Each structure stands twice: as structure tokens, then as C-alpha cells.
Structure 1
Amino acid sequence: MYSFESRVRYSECDKSGRLSIVGLIDYLQDCTTFHSDHVGHGLEFMAAHDYAWFIAAWQIHVLRLPRFAEKIRVSTNAYEMGSVTSNRNFSITDEGGEPCVLADSIWFTYDTAAKSPCRIPDFEHVYVTGEPRLDLPRTSRKIKVPKGGVELPSFHVVEQMLDTNNHVNNAQYVSIADGIVRARDPEFSTRVIRVQYRSMALLGDVVCPRLHATEGGYIVDLADESGSSYAIVSFESLPTEPGAPAPLPSPSGAGREA
């Protein structure tokens, strides 16, 4: 398992003074990139070997969002790696070691020269060190989108949305979807985020959002002009009463790994 410690910055908070959803995703993404750098397989190494790690799906459970200036520990564990996909857990814990966020994810390697998914190189198995997975459900690679929904104004991908792979960063899709939901339902609080990434949006591409209300939440489909999805983001709600518990699969057991 790889971990790093941080403190929630003002720039990472939403209007409530707590870690924003995009700030949360950024911490998880930073943790896996730091892990790569820690084992000597950072950005320069991957560029020299013509490959990159891309995420296929997220499952993120929010027990609570840390407050401004709160000390946190962010951890990741690559608990399973096959020939074409790898599974990673993440956690964000507070100063006392109690979990604030638990997550599971599916990743794959991409040949940046051939511009296609590829088998995971043997040397990438260095990430798997034997720690057990968190007690979370298995992450599904597919999110079912209901029919209908509300079509929202389209927009073009701009440079600020891109990452080092020159496509829209995975956190940006969640940030865009979160903004759409909050514009529709300002009091909505997120308990579970599920994301399915289907294709890469590049600079200048047009993104056409569609919002679907579901039982207990929303689904945002971010698609191209033909209706093919770039990413599908599902949000399920938190209890509305302050301090109300957010039930999760065995959070105390999962916390032992954080």
C-alpha cells in the first residue's frame, strides 16, 4: 500500500468549507500517480516506454467530506492485476485513522504509440504487494443509463480540461457532472459516485450532457454529438440530517487497512 499525508487546502474546498467532489477525485488521482513515481514508473518512465494507465471505472463511497485545514491520509492499494485490467482501492482517512472516503476502481494500460489499449507490461506487477482489498462491492464497468432525461447545452473541450495524455482528465468529467447536478438540485449531497469512462474527449470536441433523475440521485451522461458517451457519472445522495450516518459495506473493517 502507498500513502501520503496532506491537509485540506482552501482551494480544494466548496462553499461549505469542506473538500469538494473534484478535490476528492484529485486526491485519489494524485495518490496513484505518486505511487507510480514512488516505484520508479512515473510520467517520464511511462513516456519512454510508450504507455499510460487509464481508468475505466470508479466506485467512490463518501462517509464524510473532510473540512478545511483538516489533516488527512490518502492511500491506495493495487490488490489485483490481470493481463489487461488492474483493480485499485483508495481511502482517505482523518487524523485519527477513521475513514472519510473509500473507493474502488478499474484501470487498464494504453499504448500511446499505437493509440490503443494494450496488455499490462510484466514490470507493472510491482504495484501488487499482497494487501487485501477493502470490503467494498466489486466495481461494475457499466452504468445503465435510463431513457429520456433532460438535454443540456453542449460545450467544447478547452485546454484547461486536459491532462498530460492530452485528453479530458477523469476528474474533469466528475466536476462537470457535479456542477450540472448542483445547478439542478443545490442541496443535493453525494454518498456514492460511480463513473464509467467510455471514450476520450480531446481538445475541441463537443460534449453534450444529458441529466437523468433516478431514485435517490442523478445520472449525467456526457456524450459526443452522435450520442456516444465519453463518460457516465452516477450520484447517490447522502442523508440530509447533520451527523446522520452514511451506511457502507463494513466501513470499520475497511478502516483497518487505511
Structure 2
Amino acid sequence: MKYSFTSRIRYSEIGEDGNLTLPGLINYFQDCSTFQSEAIGEGVAELKKRGCAWVLSAWQIHVRRYPSLGEAVKITTWASGFKGFLGMRNFTMETEDGEMLACANSIWSYVNMETGHPVRAPKETTDAYGIDDPIDEDFGERKVKMPEADFIGEPFPVRPHNLDTNHHVNNAQFISLAGECLPKNFTVRRMRAEYKQQAHLGDVLHPLRAETENGCFISLNDEKGQPYVVVEFQ
């Protein structure tokens, strides 16, 4: 079952170039999935009662064009499959005229928040979302392998504004933080992110960067060198 909502690009969502930023795009996608979940009775409050949450494992996003200030957009999402504790979800952002601005694939884990372990989503949950065909797009591999780093950034702590209702760093915040480590004037057209572990208030993130012929990799690691997230920007 597909779910859509419409909006206009706000001044608070644009960058210096007057266009929507990548974190802004991700927030639209995330909001769309949240709106759908709330609409079908699978929202934040219901999941909290169960002690469970959908935790993002991976993003793959392709951007054809970043919409500009005031531009009207339509955001759509749908579940494209379920397997065990995993749920696959697609997204699109289009103009009023149907121009495809961006599309994405995402992989989520249904997690028992008390144990921290993934569990199979209830049948009534998967039935409520339904399944539609996946978007016809080659998003590449889900796993993101970090090359040898050629730059080590200054560590920084997780701040309260980085957290979401699950009390860990929100997935869009991770991408925003990783994006701050990119070379100046780097325009992202494709992005892959693999989330490895959760980060909480007070955790310290240690950024590593590796520039390649095709783009740039950023890994935000813990104090032991284990990644919270690895992101490839192209």
C-alpha cells in the first residue's frame, strides 16, 4: 500500500545554493514513512507499547535534482518486502508534474528495544503495510566497505538535538554529521549508508574520510574504532 503527502520546500530546508539539502531530503522520506505508520495504527506510540521499533539498517539514495525554495513536491513511500526481522521500504520525491527528483531504497530491522535484538515483525504489522513492487532502480550493494582512510577528523560528542524518540542518534542526523566531513563544495548525487550500531547521548564520534576516484567515504567510529555508520557519497 503506497502512501503519499505533498509539501513545499521551506527556507529552513535549503542550503546556500537555495536548494533542498540531502539531510532535508532524508527528513522528507523519514517523515513520509512515519506518517504512513501513524495512519495505519503502527505509529510511535503503538510501537512503544510493544517495546519495539523499526531501526534503519541501510539507505541507498539517488538524487536526480534537488528541488528549490518554494517548489511543490510529492513524497511517496511503500513497503517492498519483508523477510524475517527485515523490512524493505522504497521512497520517491516528485514534482507536481511527475518529474522524478529523487528515489531511495531502505532496509529496516524490527528490534525489541529491551533486549536490543531484532525479532520477526508480527503478521498483523506486515499485513497492515502490504507489499508493492520495488522501484526499478539499481541501488548497488547494501553493505558499504570503508577504504583505507586518508583523513582523520576531530572527534565530537553526540548532542541532545541529534537524538530521536528511540533515544539514539537519528539516521538523518548521522548523514548530516557525516556530510560535514566532506570536502568543500561536494555535491551528492548518490549516497549509500550502512548503520552498524546505535549511538547515544555523550558518545564520541571519530570521523574518518577516504576519497576515491568515484566519490568519498565517511566512517563515524566509536572510541575503539568500530563504526556507527559508514557512508559512501558520490
Question: Which secondary structure does the structure 2 equivalent of 1:60 belong to?
Answer: strand
Shift of 1:87: 0.8
Amino acid across the alignment from 2:229: A
Aligned to 2:133: 132
Counterpart of 2:228 (choices 230, 244, 247) is 230
Counterpart of 1:219 (choices 217, 220, 225) is 217
Q: How many residue pairs were aligned? A: 233
Q: Which runs of 5+ in 2 are unaligned?
A: none
Aligned to 1:148: 149
Contact 1:80 1:128 in 2 (8 A): no
1:37-73 per-residue CA deviation (whole Å, 9 max, x = no partner) reads 0101111100011100011000000000000000000
Distance 2:218 2:92 in 1: 25
Is 1:41 aligned with 2:42? yes
TM-score (norm 2): 0.96
Shift of 1:140: 3.0
Aligned to 1:191: 189
Q: Which runs of 5+ in 1 are unaligned?
A: 237-258
Relative to structure 1, the CA distance from residue 130 to residue 47 in structure 2 (aligned partners, 3 Å threshold; closer, same or farther) is: closer
Aligned to 1:248: none
Contact 2:75 2:91 in 1 (8 A): yes
Question: Which secondary structure does the structure 1 equivalent of 2:109 belong to?
Answer: strand
Shift of 1:127: 4.5
Distance 2:176 2:15 in 1: 12
Shift of 1:22: 0.8
Question: Which secondary structure does the structure 1 equivalent of 2:73 belong to?
Answer: strand
Distance 1:22 1:80 in 2: 25
Amino acid across the alignment from 2:218: V
Distance 2:149 2:10 in 1: 39
Aligned to 1:103: 104
1:86-119 per-residue CA deviation (whole Å, 9 max, x = no partner) reads 1111000001011100101111101012222211
Shift of 1:216: 2.1
Aligned to 2:123: 122
Shift of 1:194: 0.4
Q: Percent identical across equivalent pairs?
A: 38
Shift of 1:147: 1.4
Contact 2:65 2:101 in 1 (8 A): yes
Distance 2:228 2:141 in 1: 17
Distance 2:123 2:196 in 1: 25
